[in-house]
Structure 1
Amino acid sequence: MAIYSQNFVKYIVVLLYLVQFINGSSHFLRNVDNAMYRHRRSYELRRKGKESVVDSNSVKSVSNGNKSGVFATENCTVVVAQIGGTATLPCVVRKFNNGVVSWIRKRDYHLLTVGPTTYNTDDRFLVEHVRHLQNWGLLIKHVQLSDAGFYECQMSTHPPTSILIELKVTKALAEIQGAPDLYMRAGSLLRLVCTLRHSTEPPAYVFWYHEQKMINYDPGVTVKEGRSSSVLLLQDADKSHNGNYTCSPSNAVPASINVHVLNATAEEKPAAMQHANTSSSSSYSFARCSILLIALIPVIPNT
């Protein structure tokens, strides 16, 4: 009987330790479940056309999201990214405690992440957690135009609070100075300058093409790269360098220019034609003025 009582006491002690362990380890899971419940509840309410603030368990109004001091990131922060680039939506938490940070796409109220875990089949979405900064950023790779819109960073405080981050997506464009046509003298230096417009990050590469052939590493060709520009230099241009040149940066719309290399005799001909046209126009204008002056001369009567 005494042995049975001792075993029973040991069983109770082990059971109490087990219950305590389960309660401690399940704290994070309860927070995740709460975040999932709030997301489902918020989605159902919006489908019914109701306001987001309906009771103490609902998400706070966006306009009040920063008043609690939970977030260091400003509400309605705007992030701009180019198509094909990478966007990082910041969410720095000032008061973390034991809460869970989740990201929700406002367009369709789709739950993207909870804590460090991604709840999305699209592997372009990731959580970028910088521990010492308490930044729970949402990383979007290979940005698409359809990714533009508002994203909600939600903290499972009591009551829950959140901020909105807006993502704007631009299309980077290449532009070559002097396009669409460039005329130059044979034997001179061909210099083409390609600049990027509406880009939010440096291109990984810039390829130059002559017709359909990439020429970055051809003999006599030099390419100088900048953060948002690329310069093509080609020494001693001749007739073989006539044609279409294309500047093609990564994640940007390419640009083209037509280069015309003229020798001395061919270059003088357009100038002579321009001079002839100018002379002809001047003669025509002089004739018109002469006729007008004759018409204005008063008729002098014979005496």
Structure 2
Amino acid sequence: MYLSYLDESGTPGDKTTKFFVLGGVTVFERQTHWLEREMDAIADRYQQQVGGQYLELHAAPMRNRKEGWEQFSPADRAQGAADVLRLLEGPQIKASVFAAVIEKSQMLRTADILPYCFEVLATKVDDFLAYKYQKRGEQARGILVLDRKQALEEANMQALHRTFKHLGHGNGRLRNFAEVPMFLDSKASRLIQLADSICYWIYRRYESQDDRGWQLIEPHFASLGNGRSGLHEVLDPATPAVLAGLPPQPYPFPPPLAPQPFREIVLPVAVAPARIAPGAVITV
């Protein structure tokens, strides 16, 4: 089973911004524990400095000094942001990145942006799983896991996926998903936070011409065979030339830190109250 954690950056209807990104990371089920453990270790470096306060590894608050990150210096916050993205480089973690990048001026209707992105990414993940079968004989299924937003949006996304799974979509029929999308609160999943960081730094490249995060993300876009990748773009014809000529960033990301020992957080063991009367006959 492959779990694809997705999030978004930008807002389809926001007229003050030019781009919208839906994207994230696909990870084999047995690797999620280790990836979460590595993210916990990054967060723990900072949580120890603020008395154990839980900090989400959300890229925008880390960069903009919000949600607890205002207590840290720019250098510390940049180090944390870079270390999260460098988890994609881990030799034992085979993570594949997917993203749909939309320059909103190139879509005829704002209401089509999110459904279009969802269709594109669902198709790409489906093709990724099919490619694994064709190349390695790996009979794997997938589930999309998204950050929980408003209930109405969740209902819309569920309906979209049912449509793609059972009726087909613009590019055919999805065949490799085990279930309709799942929705999680980002506080409960470091992997959703990783998807947030990936989305945010992809968005920064297009919206703000800041490619610091992109340089760490780009090598890890999924390979789908025949030269296809996990990246889908809908851009103004002039935009690729602008992106190709981005100047060096004045404040590059810091280099990796030396490996730190992981500090296991041990919670006190509570004694559960008795639930069954003494002498009861229990059949198993």
Structure with more contact order per residue of length (Cα contacts < 8 Å, sep ≥ 6): 2
Q: Give the number of the structure whose residues are more often strand, by fraction.
A: 1
**Alignment TM-score, normalising by the size of structure 1:** 0.17
**Alignment TM-score, normalising by the size of structure 2:** 0.18
Q: Give the number of the structure whose residues are more often helix, by fraction.
A: 2
